[in-house]
Amino acid sequence: MAGPQGTAQAAGEALQGGRPAVPPIIAVVGPTGSGKSDLAVSLALELGGEVINADSMQFYRGMDIGTAKITEDERRGVPHHLLDILDVTEEASVSDFQQQARALIADLHSRGKRAILAGGSGLYVRAALDVLEFPGTDPAIRRRLEAELETAGAAPLRARLEGVDPVSAGRLGDARRIVRALEVFELTGRPFSSFMPTREYAGPAVQIGLEVDREQLRERLARRVHAMVESGLLDEVRKLDAAGLRLGRTAPCALGYAQFLRVLDGESDVAQATEETIVATRQFARRQLTWFRADPRIHWLDWQDPELVTKAAALCGPGVPGVPDRAGTQPAAPER
């Protein structure tokens, strides 16, 4: 009897008139600590694929312990892409990621490999999978707006945004994002909110979400943070601080790193920073679940199912019911 991969291939060829179908991009999503990296590796081994990182904090070189970056042993020989591509002083860009991820996907498919995204940064996953346009940037406009923010604060900028883009003004709480929304309006003449993505795949794709028991996840996240601390998180933060961590826009905001920088400054201690990191990580996991739960295209599977890999692999072939074969189609939500 043909396994999931053979069944998927046969179904795909039948739907394409005997020609092999373009395989869907596979995305493994879910909250932090749910086992996305392990499932992605298992699927890569099962289906003949390679993994593309979609966790924005794992882009950074040296941020290993605090981001739970997958180790060489845990990769089990599966090539991983877009890990360790930035210094901590550099800013992560979802637009740059989109270009890099799509180029990698095209290369993998040209070599007969499956492309498997793994990560919990929801916007980055959607940038790789969905029809999503990114407006450009203008450093001169950005500098002028940032200078206004520095001298007058966020209130007048927010008031200006309310006049041209009330949707964004009501949604954005971060001053840096308000600056960005005004920059986009000045640059394009369009409200920033008009660039928000719709749930339309740019090409065949399947998303697999890991369904978690929330109380068990809470306990797992606490254990994981304690393990990070015991493995040398403070020393990692100290080393990165010497390399310019505080000069970056995104890296110093990462979970654990922000809390342990305060330890280095004498404003906290290890015990307090550990508890603050646990709380922040649990809150982040809740936000991730809210984000991914809003996407009806995701197929949810029990994170502790002994048949998890087999069930996930069965969803990953072209032509399989519930998997889109054209850009823009949405599979029915799985029965649960």
Angstrom distances, CA of residue 146 to CA of 150, 162, 237, 252: 6, 18, 28, 19
Q: Which residues are annotated as a binding site for substrate?
A: 32-37
| Pairing of the two strands 49-53 and 205-211 | unpaired
**How is the beta sheet containing 114-118 ordered, strand by strand?**
80-81, 49-53, 114-118, 25-29, 205-211, 299-302
Tokens 């826009």 found at: 249
CATH no. for 4-132+198-314 = 3.40.50.300
Judged on CB neighbours under 10 Å (0-12, 13-18, 19+), 111 is exposed
- What phi and psi, each to the nearest 5 degrees, are found at residue 211? -80, 120
Q: Which residues are annotated as a binding site?
A: 30-37
DSSP code of residue 192: G
Output the pLDDT for position 10.
36
Tokens 């519930």 found at: 322
Angstrom distances, CA of residue 332 to CA of 14, 205, 299, 322: 21, 13, 9, 6
Instruction: Assess contact for 129 and 202: CB atoms under 8 A.
Output: yes
CATH architecture of 139-195: Orthogonal Bundle (1.10)
Write 33-38 long-range contacts (CB < 8 A, 24+).
33/68, 33/217, 33/220, 33/221, 33/224, 33/281, 33/285, 34/210, 34/212, 34/217, 34/303, 35/210, 35/303, 36/118, 36/119, 36/120, 36/210, 37/68, 37/70, 37/74, 37/118, 38/74
- The secondary structure of 64-86 as a DSSP string is -TTTTPPPHHHHTT--EESSS-B
Q: Which of 288, 305, 2, 322 is nearest to 125 (CA)?
A: 288
Indicate the pTM of the whole model.
0.81
Instruction: Assess contact for 176 and 253: CB atoms under 8 A.
Output: no
Provide the residue count of the chain.
336
Output the pLDDT for position 7.
33
Output the pLDDT for position 20.
54
Q: Which residues are annotated as a binding site for ATP?
A: 30-37
d(CA 299, CA 320): 13
d(CA 128, CA 208): 15
- The secondary structure of 102-151 as a DSSP string is HHHHHHHHHTTPEEEEE-S-HHHHHHHHB--------HHHHHHHHHHHHH
Record the tokens describing residue 14, joined without a space. Answer: 């039948």
The percent of the chain in helix, strand and coil, each rounded to the nearest 5, is: 55, 10, 40
Provide the 10 A C-beta neighbour count for residue 123.
Answer: 15
Output the pLDDT for position 21.
65
Amino acid identity, position 206 = V
Residue-level pLDDT, tens digit, the chain, 336 residues: 333 333 333 333 433 444 456 899 999 999 999 999 999 999 999 999 999 999 999 999 999 999 999 999 999 999 999 999 999 999 999 999 999 999 999 999 999 999 999 999 999 999 999 998 888 889 999 999 999 999 999 999 999 999 999 999 988 878 988 999 999 999 999 999 888 767 899 999 999 999 999 999 999 999 999 999 999 999 999 999 999 999 998 999 999 999 999 999 999 999 999 999 999 999 999 999 999 999 999 999 999 999 999 999 999 975 333 434 334 444 333 333
Write 166-171 long-range contacts (CB < 8 A, 24+).
167/191, 167/193, 168/192, 168/193
Output the pLDDT for position 16.
43
Angstrom distances, CA of residue 145 to CA of 2, 136, 140, 149, 253: 60, 16, 9, 6, 22
Give me the residue spans of the domains in the chain. 4-132+198-314, 139-195
Q: Which of 210, 199, 214, 217 is nearest to 299 (CA)?
A: 210
